Amino acid sequence: MELDKYFDEIIKNVNEEIEKYIKGKPKELYDASIYLLKAGGKRLRPLITVASSDLFSGDRKRAYKAAAAVEILHNFTLIHDDIMDEDTLRRGMPTVHVKWGVPMAILAGDLLHAKAFEVLSEALEGLDSKRFYMGLSEFSKSVIIIAEGQAMDMEFENRQDVTEEEYLEMIKKKTAQLFSCSAFLGGLVSGAEDKDLELLKEFGLNLGIAFQIIDDILGLTADEKELGKPVYSDIREGKKTILVIKALSLASEAERKIIIEGLGSKDQEKIIKAAEVVKSLSLNYAYEVAEEYYQKSMKALSAIGDNNIAGKALKYLAEFTIKRRK
């Protein structure tokens, strides 16, 4: 109950902060820009930002702004990802490009990208110049790294020889970097020391890797209604997830043929067959790897000290990440 109240207060304030910035004219542009932000979502990254700030008794107003910047940036990446992957559903609703068309969706993403920096610069306003620079530098670097990760993900679709190391490098960039940045910014705006900022980055990075592996698992095991996006879309798009990579390394010749025929296919029967083979060969292994990175994130958090409510909140969020079913 205590944590529910804690999270609800953060989400309410971060949502208010977001709505303050994402409004204006032309109406269609701003409607498209705020659409996903209003469609729900877990708000995991902003919760990490504010809880990381609270670990060091930071100023909540600054933390809410930093958290809003992180969530706005995240939603920019989702809009553009959905265009690139040609996905039609997100959070159980039509994607932005389906509802408004690709040109407007690209513009909405561009707007959110710029707004994220506007909100962040206000979160950092009044900090000493070193911290101001550190915040903007980490945020800018994150956008670059996320773009590199997305490019790797797309390139992997055309290759059968992707290694687990390459996959982990890709998700570190595409997904985990923003988790790392979220925790770092929370610590930065609250005056945390450099050694604690490094630990927060480590906490976020490892948690982000675990999060993405679980996401890949859910793409094969979750119910479409629960997931809020098409199930088996990773197989349909030819994505080289940890499950596919491990399954290909263990498969017999017949199983390998089924997997390869399903990857990138438009034939639903082939997709389902491939998904079943992948699950049978690599599901348990993927859970084990996710658990390993979750434990690494817990180790970094313990090194900071996690005895107050913020520490409990971060532990809970990490546990939620590993146990979530949507």
Which pLDDT tens digit goes with each residue over 225-247? 666 667 788 899 899 999 999 99
Is pLDDT above 90 for 54?
yes
pTM above 0.85, yes or no: yes
What would the pLDDT profile of 169-189 be if each residue is shown by its tens digit?
999 999 999 999 999 999 999
Domains in the chain, start-ordered, CATH in brackets? 2-323 (1.10.600.10)
Q: Which residues contact 9 (CB under 8 A, 6 or more apart)?
A: none
Other beta carbons less than 10 A from residue 282's beta carbon: 24
Residues 6+ apart with CB under 8 A from 32: 96, 99, 100, 104, 105, 107, 108
Using CA atoms, how far apart are residues 49 and 183, in angstroms rounded to an integer? Answer: 5
Average pLDDT of the residues in 11-40? 96
- Report the SS3 class of residue 70: helix
CA distance 72 to 45: 10
Half-sphere exposure (Cβ direction) of 132: Cα atoms closer than 13 Å: 9
Q: Which two tokens stand for residue 237?
A: 């798009």
Query: What local confidence, expressed as pLDDT, does residue 84 receive?
Result: 94
Mean pLDDT of the 29-41 span: 93
pLDDT range class, residue 306, cuts 50, 70, 90: low
- 3 has pLDDT over 80: yes
DSSP string, 32-49: HHHHHHHT----HHHHHH
